[in-house]
Amino acid sequence: MKTYEVQNDTSKTEKHTPYIEIPSEVKPNEPFQVTVQVGKDIPHPNLVEHHIKWIQVFFEEEGRAFNPIHIATFDLGPTYAEPKVTFTMKVPKNGKLIALAYCNIHGLWENSADVKVSE
């Protein structure tokens, strides 16, 4: 059951979509870096009246009965914080990373990236 409405206004996509950067392949259960950035090519404003409030990251593991798994939540303040986060995680098998970003004016935005695990 989905309890939120993800925005799809294509005129605002470049400033609001959370872009996910990960390695093309990772090893099972070995740490790797993930970077999530909102407004990668066109920066999102970072003002008191218009900013990204938070970024959340989830992982959908292939074959797992209960998905998605919450990985991290990053709360961001206006003016000084930039909507870009980098963290380290590890996964046992293939799956999909899902990033959500919340703009205080334009609502919730989502993107995903496949995680490929190789021996």
Active-site residue, from 50, 90, 93, 116: 50
Mean pLDDT of 57-76: 97
Instruction: Give the DSSP H/E element, type plus range, for residue 16.
Output: helix 13-16
Fold annotation for 13-115: Immunoglobulin-like (2.60.40)
Is 44 one of the catalytic residues? yes
Active-site residue, from 12, 14, 62, 96: 14
Q: Where are the beta strands (DSSP E) in 24-68?
A: 32-38, 52-61
Identify residue 9 by its one-letter amino acid code: D
Mean pLDDT of 109-118: 97
Mean pLDDT of 38-60: 94
pLDDT greater than 70 at residue 3: no
Active-site residue, from 16, 40, 51, 84: 16
Active-site residue, from 12, 62, 106, 110: 106
pLDDT band at 41 (very low <50, low <70, confident <90, very high): confident
pLDDT greater than 70 at residue 4: no
Is 15 one of the catalytic residues? yes
Question: Which pLDDT does position 1 carry in this prediction?
Answer: 40
Q: How large a percentage of the chain has pLDDT more than 90?
A: 80
Is 70 one of the catalytic residues? no
Q: How large a percentage of the chain has pLDDT more than 70?
A: 92
Q: How far is the CA of 52 from the CAs of 48, 88, 92, 104, 118, in angstroms?
A: 10, 22, 31, 6, 34
